Amino acid sequence: MTLDIQRAGTIDQQSLFHPFTAITDLMADGPTIMATGKGVRITDIHGQEYLDGMAGLWCVNLGYGREEISAAMDAQSRRLSFFHAFNGMSIDVAVECAEELLKRAPVPMSRVFFGASGSDGNETQAKLIWYYNQLRGKPEKKKLICRWNSYHGSAVLTASMTGLPGMHSPFLLPMGPIVHTSAPYYYRKAPEGMSEREFSRHLAKELEELIEREGADTIGAFFAEAVMGAGGLIPPPEGYFEEIVPILRRHDILLVMDEVVSGYGRLGTYWGAQMYNVEPDLITSAKGVTSGYFPMSACFISPKVWDVIESNAAAAGLFGHGFTYSAHPVGAAAALASLRLIDEENILANVQQQSDYLFAQMRAAIGDHRAVGDIRGKGLMVGIELVKDRATKETLPMADRTGRQVLKAAAARGLITRALGDTLVFAPPLVINRAEVDELVDKFAAAVNDVL
């Protein structure tokens, strides 16, 4: 490494165009440049240490510096650094990885399709849905229902699917095949006095009306994160999936679970589908599949979809889709090592334990704070929505700015959180222990008190 540490911030500002960054904020504050990581901690180039309350971007589930994963990647890159799976070629380690993934699927699945990101995973699903309906003689079933506040990626189609208007403008996105329905955002959107269950029924009714309005014969699939992440950390209200899945089945609409964040243990079950007892037709996974050590996505295809594809194979010809890095051997090696560690270290049990403790401690520390409107989440996904007035739920006047101030106060105390507008979120590495949870809560409570 030859980077001039003293000038690194300036060099960054002059050379790196940052994703999802307001240039004015970057110019005002300068970047925070990370250098090393171990366990749940990362250290910046100036030696300041942080507890990473976000596992990078909801992905470093097994923590930083895991020798088991880097050794597997190192060995694989020496053995065979790259080959591909186009035109019937394959790679031994990718074959093994696909088999291991299928063993861990929440419901029987027939095939895995690999890519390099959550965005490309959801793009693959969209194409699969179109391909499947084309092959079974229903080519008009093309539309995809997604939800406001959802996040499905930032490629052109997946940005359209994402239910965050800030990601739609000013880009020329193909909104044609996308229809949005309401987010299951109980705290903000449920009418006064309505129970969670009633709100779920209300959303189901809205969904069915939308399907009838659009015409079920034009709709291919419904996409859902188990717990919404980037759109404000929104867990579904009680009975949500129970209410909506029968509607999808009745109208012959595929259910795609976007488990890019929730997969591989984040909720305390291996999959969000298991937490909410749903049987998806397609699952998108990424991030935790390699614990963030390698960019990789894995899309699961159910027998219902696969059988149509396979039985029409002769007529269908080539599936004209794929990425150079689909089934990358180093990614497959990282995934195999990660999957093994999730089992061997009993990660799910740790998530369940630490989740209960984290929510209890967070509620005890700031549950009564005048600016804390809602503490919500599931497993190790936690959201704290800040408000101006708890009683009326009035929003903060400059929510983005306040969220950012809390984020900065936390960073000054050595804690990384993420501000999604007025909701501060945590998704720490799944290996976090009790003492680290205490530290996370103490530092965060202090940061909230610093600002509000």
Q: How far is the CB of 47 from ligand PLP (least distance, A)?
A: 29
CB of 236 or CB of 373, closer to ligand PLP: 236
* Beta bridge pairs of residue 43: 36, 49
Q: How far is the CB of 28 from ligand PLP (least distance, A)?
A: 25
For residues 401 and 422, give the distance between their C-alpha atoms in angstroms, rounded to a whole number.
Answer: 8
CB of 63 or CB of 231, closer to ligand PLP: 231
For residues 336 and 69, give the distance between their C-alpha atoms in angstroms, rounded to a whole number.
Answer: 9
Q: How far is the CB of 231 from ligand PLP (least distance, A)?
A: 9
Half-sphere exposure of 128 (CA within 13 A, CB side): 30
Q: Which residues contact residue 43 at a Cβ distance below 8 angstroms, ignoring those fewer than 6 apart?
A: 34, 35, 36, 37, 49, 50
Q: How far is the CB of 357 from ligand PLP (least distance, A)?
A: 25
**Burial of 357 (C-beta count, 10 Å sphere; 0-12/13-18/19+):** middle
Binding site for ligand PLP (CB under 6 A): 57, 117-119, 122, 151-153, 225, 229-230, 258, 260-261, 286
- What is each CA distance from 142 to 24, 137, 186, 248, 353, in whole angstroms? 40, 12, 30, 14, 42
In order, the DSSP letters of 169-208 are: TTS----TTEEEE----HHHHSPTT--HHHHHHHHHHHHH
CB of 373 or CB of 379, closer to ligand PLP: 379
Q: How far is the CB of 86 from ligand PLP (least distance, A)?
A: 21
Q: How far is the CB of 257 from ligand PLP (least distance, A)?
A: 10
Q: How far is the CB of 166 from ligand PLP (least distance, A)?
A: 15
Q: How far is the CB of 260 from ligand PLP (least distance, A)?
A: 4
Whether residue 170 has a cis bond before it, omega within 30° of 0: yes
Sign of CA dihedral 227, 231, 237, 241: negative
CB of 146 or CB of 332, closer to ligand PLP: 146
CB of 165 or CB of 191, closer to ligand PLP: 165
CB of 151 or CB of 186, closer to ligand PLP: 151
Give the number of other CB atoms < 10 A from CB of residue 376. 20
Beta strands in 392-434 (DSSP E): 415-416, 418-420, 423-426
Pair of tokens at residue 195: 């129970």
CB of 289 or CB of 448, closer to ligand PLP: 289
CB of 117 or CB of 338, closer to ligand PLP: 117
Range list of H helices, 59-195: 67-79, 92-104, 118-135, 156-161, 186-189
Locus of tokens 């630490």: 354
For residues 382 and 362, give the distance between their C-alpha atoms in angstroms, rounded to a whole number.
Answer: 9
Please give the residue whose beta carbon sits closest to ligand PLP in the complex.
Answer: 118
Q: How far is the CB of 274 from ligand PLP (least distance, A)?
A: 17
Pair of tokens at residue 439: 């530290």
For residues 301 and 322, give the distance between their C-alpha atoms in angstroms, rounded to a whole number.
Answer: 15
Cα 219 vs. chain centroid, distance in angstroms? 24
Q: How far is the CB of 261 from ligand PLP (least distance, A)?
A: 5
Q: How far is the CB of 90 from ligand PLP (least distance, A)?
A: 24
CB of 290 or CB of 302, closer to ligand PLP: 290
CB of 283 or CB of 286, closer to ligand PLP: 286
CB of 286 or CB of 339, closer to ligand PLP: 286
Which amino acid is present at 168? H
Pair of tokens at residue 260: 């890019």
For residues 292 and 422, give the distance between their C-alpha atoms in angstroms, rounded to a whole number.
Answer: 27
